[in-house]
Amino acid sequence: MTTLASSISPAVIGTRNAAQGVTHVPQDLDLADLYAAHHLSMVRLARLLVDDVATAEDVVQDAFLGLHRNQHSLRDSGAAAGYIRRAVINQARSTLRRRRTARAHLKVAEPEVGPAADADLIVSEEHREVLQALSRLPERQREVLVLRFWSDLSEAEIATAMGVSKGTVKSQASRAMKTLQKHLEAARS
């Protein structure tokens, strides 16, 4: 598994993701250390995928517990960050699927979840427009864009994180950008 920690040198990780709260993680760390190093950035990533902070925290917690359960199957401890990211993406996907099913069949079973009431006030008008267009994209396309432009991953890393081929990442990204452009133009007109 190509991961942030294994495929990039520690120095690169430190500088590249400093803005996202990710710091270099030494190779032999336990769960608590990993949690401290990656938790915030993973919650932010999950929030971009599932919208609300509580669900994002659930998703990330599940990912960390999953890592703990399967730590023996990890090739090396440096692969942990990549494992967590992939688990976050999968969990976010499952959560959205469950949410859709619940909404479709049992309208009262699951509370309405979404961005906080003041979320729109915090981000500027321009950003809100882009985020709304982003939220209208199909799940996979949104994932590709989030991993590309927020997590700053390469196409190969995105492919690994999403469990798809590099070609799929390219085509999804291209389609996503076109659709996004259309949504933004439509919103403007």
Which residues of this chain interact with other proteins, rule CB under 8 A? 19-20, 30-32, 35-36, 39-40, 43-45, 47-48, 53-54, 56-58, 61-62, 64-65, 68-69, 119, 122-124, 126-128, 130-131, 134, 145-146, 149-150, 173-174, 177, 180-181, 184
Q: By the 8 A CB rule, do 6 and 74 touch?
A: no
Least distance between other proteins and beta carbon 69 (Å) = 7
The token duo for 47 is 């929030």
Nearer to other proteins, 27 or 181 (CB): 181
- Min dist CB 134 to other proteins, Å, is 7
Smallest separation (angstroms) from other proteins to the CB of 21: 8
What single letter denotes the amino acid at residue 14?
Answer: G
Sign of the torsion angle spanned by Cα atoms 173, 131, 64, 16 = positive
Q: Check: CB of residue 89 under 8 Å from CB of residue 143.
A: yes
When the beta carbons of 145 and 161 are compared against other proteins, the nearer one is: 145
CB 133, CB 187: distance < 8 Å: yes
Tokens describing residue 100: 């859709």
Q: How far is the CB of 152 from other proteins (least distance, A)?
A: 9
